[in-house]
Amino acid sequence: MTQPARKILKHCLSLVALTVLSQASAHELEIHGSNTVGATLAPMLVTGYLQQMGDGEVRSRPTGEENEQVLSTTAQGQSLSVLVAAHGSSTGFRTLASGQAGIWASSRPVKGDEAEQVQAQADLTGLQSEHVIAIDGLAILVHPSNPVSELSIDTLGQIFAGQIRNWSELGGTDRPINLYARDDRSGTWDTFKSLVLGKSYRLDSSAQRYESNDQLSDDVSSDPGGIGFSGLASVRSSKLLAVSEGDAPALRPNQLTVASEDYPLSRRLFMYTMGSRTPAIASELIEFALGSDGQALVAESGFISQNPIAVKPEFEASVPKTFRRLTENYLRLTVNFRFSEGRTQLDNKAHRDLRRIKHYLEQQGRSANDLLLIGFADTQSHELRAQMISELRALSVRRALGDAGIPRVAYTGYGHYMPVGGTGNQRNGRVEVWIKER
């Protein structure tokens, strides 16, 4: 039996088992959830995966429902089809929990109450179930003619709460501000509500609401008074603003600031599966998406790939001379190691990033001797405590790299200096990865 035939048989057997738990489906796999993921990225990943699996072209057809499509091909004379339904992150959880979806696409992390609902079947916060497929920057959009170029997160909260109603209050022209926002089913809305509105603000009732990122962006780009938010892949003809938090400098979303998650409105895009109960075809699609070929499609789709690249950062004037000297012969890799909230252990994304760095070094003909880890801490009461925490974090990553086959990497800590967010923000506690210039 050929390898493709064995894969088809494996898929069929897993689907027979799945029907005991779920509704009958006309498709080998259903992906439900986020419009941010499902509009372009998920179909591209499915297409790339099916091209590897199938014998011919991959076909796409609508289902008759808005924001839905079916992608299909043939392999060994058998049809393979995947439904992608992009109606919002919350809809994806419900279909995953019911057994209808094999994959839940989400533009936000699983909520605590959602994880509790299915904890008897799977741990949605565990490595087997939570898969970061891309990094996105929540884009703040205005009309191309708007002279405003940057805003703080707090100012954005005031704008979307209707407390600031004219662009003249922000250094712009005397023009009313018109609000554009995603709808309540959207993970993009959940992210915006969490990162911008928080507990201090509520969205003003005048805001127009959208299911589609692209349509929202198109409408903002035709309204000189408009401001809205979308996924980074949907900027289109709108103008993109830089965003600041606390005392940290304003950053525009780009390859480095988003991939490293330094940009204050960066976010992870997820695919969730039901752990050991995941159908084989879903597991294989996830593995393809997380690999280098899948991540190349992530970049092509307009999101930020997790494949590391080396970048020479443009330092702000506020960057200390000691840090400039420390890194003057290095480039920065677009990878930051971060930790589970309230813990010193690496989070789920970091475990995959260890493998990505090893692959990068092998591809580039480099070694562990070329790397430098720099740890950072959030603001502490004493400078020595911050220094100790930052060094311990860097040491933790050094040990993890050693376990992954990259031994004895140089490391240091830089205390609580150079924050990328406001005081108390978890993003400040990070480990950057630098590589020597050739």
pLDDT at residue 20 tops 50: no
Per DSSP, the residues of 184-206 read TT-HHHHHHIIIIITTT----TT
Q: Which helix (H) or strand (E) element contains residue 284?
A: helix 280-290
Structural domain total, the chain: 3
Let me know whether 330 and 272 are in one domain: no
Q: Is the pLDDT of residue 421 over 70?
A: yes
pTM: 0.81
Taking the C-alpha atoms of residue 353 and residue 259, their distance in angstroms, rounded to an integer, is 11
Looking at the structure, do residues 120 and 195 belong to the same domain, yes or no? no
- Judged by DSSP in three states, 401 sits in helix
Mean pLDDT confidence for 249-276: 93
Question: For residue 221, is it within any domain?
Answer: yes
Q: How confident is the model at residue 17 (pLDDT cuts 50, 70, 90)?
A: very low
Residues 345 and 361 in one domain: yes
Residue listed under structure tokens 């603001």:
379
Q: Are 79 and 116 in the same domain?
A: yes
Whether residues 189 and 110 share a domain: the answer is: no
Report if residue 15 sits inside a domain.
Answer: yes
Q: What is the pLDDT confidence band of residue 13, given thresholds at 50, 70 and 90?
A: very low
Q: For residue 415, what is the domain's CATH number?
A: 3.30.1330.60
Cβ count near 342 (within 10 Å): 6
- pLDDT for the residue 25: 61
Rounded CA-CA distance 262/313 in Å is 12
Query: Residue 291 belongs to what domain range?
Result: 3-134+268-301
Domain co-membership, 334 together with 425: yes
Exposure b/e, 167-194, CB count within 10 A at least 16 = b: beebebeeeebbbbbbeebbbbbbbbbe
Kindly report, residue by residue over 358-384, the tens digit of the pLDDT: 999 999 999 999 999 999 988 788 899
- 343 in any annotated domain: yes
State pLDDT tens for residues 169-198.
Answer: 999 999 999 999 999 988 899 889 989 999
Residue with the bigger pLDDT between 190 and 158: it is 158
Closest residue by Cα to residue 352 from 174, 92, 61, 133: 133
Residues 391 and 347 in one domain: yes
Write down the number of H helices and E strands in the chain.
14, 19
Decide if 370 is inside a domain.
yes
Cα 214 from Cα 234, distance rounded (Å) = 5
- The answer as to whether 250 is a domain residue is no
Of 276, 301, 326, the residue at which a domain comes to its end is 301
Same structural domain, 350 and 285: no
Q: Please, where are the H alpha helices in 152-229?
A: 153-160, 187-192, 213-221
Of 278, 301, 324, the one marking the end of a domain is 301
Distances (CA, A) of 200 to 157, 364, 397: 8, 48, 36
- Per-residue pLDDT of 208-235, as tens digits, reads 999 999 999 999 999 999 999 998 889 9
Domain with 42 in it: what CATH number?
A: 3.40.190.10
Q: Give the Cα separation of 415 and 384 in Å (integer).
A: 8
Q: What is the DSSP letter of 44?
A: H
Boundary (domain end) residue, out of 244, 276, 292:
244
Judgement on whether residues 165 and 118 belong to the same structural domain of the protein: no
How many residues appear in the chain?
Answer: 438
Per-residue pLDDT, averaged over 232-255, amounts to 91
Q: Is residue 254 in a domain?
A: no
> Which of 318, 304, 313 lies closest to 265, judged by CA?
304
Identify whether 252 is part of a domain. Answer: no
Alpha-carbon Rg of the chain, whole angstroms? 22
DSSP reduced 3-state for 147: coil
Indicate whether 351 belongs to any domain: yes
110 and 157 assigned to the same domain: no
